[in-house]
Structure 1
Amino acid sequence: MPTPKPIPGSILKPMTFPTVDGGQMTVGGHKDNWTLLVVYRGKHCPRCKKYLNILNEMRSDWADAGFDIAVVSADSQEKAQADQAEFGWGFDLGYDLSEVQMATLGVYVTEPMSPEETDRRFAEPGIFVLRADGSQIVVAISNGPAVRPELAELLDGMIFNKTKDRPHRGTV
């Protein structure tokens, strides 16, 4: 049975994830900056790597616009660290996204096709943009790897929304 989808404008309660650098990151709740939260499928997904490489190249653009970046998957620490070592991403990279957290975010969950794909259920892509108060101004979830917001367009739209203090959309 599908998980209920998030309601734009609702406050995302804080979620904490371990990070590959040995720390933790918390998304949701009140922050000083807006947050771009990217949920990716995991080490097994080449489309995710392409997307995250683009995001990594845009880190300073997002930071200059007042956004923190948080990226997380259901992967194990070992797999997340392997990706970090291979690609050298400079954003906060979390792992061990639980099925309870997946349900809270409203992302689609997939059973691996085989042990060669991955060793656990994983989240399909999700992009969440949170205002500083933790409210979800953008919720973009996909049930497969090929559909994700284009990052430059998303940033442009979020700068507009932020500077013009635009309301949450899709609330009816």
Structure 2
Amino acid sequence: MPLTLRSGERFPRMTFQKVGGGQLLVGEPSGNWTLLVVYRGRHCGRCKKYLNGLEKMRQDWERAGFDIVVVSADTQEKAQADIAEFGWSFNICYGLVVEQMKLLGLYVSEPLSEAETDRVFAEPGVFCITPEGNAQIVSVSNGPAARPELAELLDGMIFTIENNRPPRGTWIE
């Protein structure tokens, strides 16, 4: 799969529908860093565990200067059901489309059965976006069991910010 998004490059401008109304825009300059987490959807138990961990660390990420945006290909109803069940207080978005998945270089899967979900969905992705709108961290996985550990990622990002470190891994042949 060819990588579309590379660290150090301009993050693609994307608009996501937010649960509760409105839209969120990523990839534009802002006053904060952005942590963008793409999750597989309501059907994924590992995603819920990961996002529950993010909820516990939400204030730490915000104190470090990050806005948190979480998105999946789920419907609004499924995303609302997750919020109701788990009490997540970060920004949850829905309706991620295949074109956006491709721009982010995400792996895309078809459901194994109707019991799993009723649409194609993105495998996990975690992105740290600079206040200028550039990709600092690009982490994609082809399955639910491989994602960056959130405490380690936050520690590394605090170091990066405090020491004005450039994006790494900018060269791919």
Alignment partner, residue 41 of structure 2: 42
- TM, length-normalised to structure 1: 0.97
Q: Within 5 Å, give how 1:12-161 maps onto structure 2.
A: 12-161=11-160
**Aligned mates of 1:38, 1:13 — CA distance in 2:** 15
% identical aligned pairs: 60
Displacement of 1:3: 4.7
C-alpha RMSD over aligned residues: 0.8
**Aligned mates of 2:54, 2:2 — CA distance in 1:** 27
Q: Unpaired segments of 5 or more residues in structure 1?
A: none
**Aligned mates of 2:138, 2:4 — CA distance in 1:** 9
Alignment partner, residue 7 of structure 1: 6
SS at match of 2:99: helix
The one-letter code matched in structure 1 to 2:77 is: E
Displacement of 1:5: 3.6
Q: Unpaired segments of 5 or more residues in structure 2?
A: none
User: Can you list the C-alpha shifts for 1:16-66, whole angstroms capped at 9, x where unaligned?
Assistant: 111111121111121110000000000000000000000011111001010
User: Can you list the C-alpha shifts for 1:67-110, whole angstroms capped at 9, x where unaligned?
Assistant: 10000000011111110111110000000000000001111000
Contact conserved, 1:3 with 1:103, CA < 8 A, in 2?
no
Count of paired positions: 171
SS at match of 1:75: coil
**Aligned mates of 1:156, 1:169 — CA distance in 2:** 16
The one-letter code matched in structure 1 to 2:34 is: T
Alignment partner, residue 171 of structure 1: 170
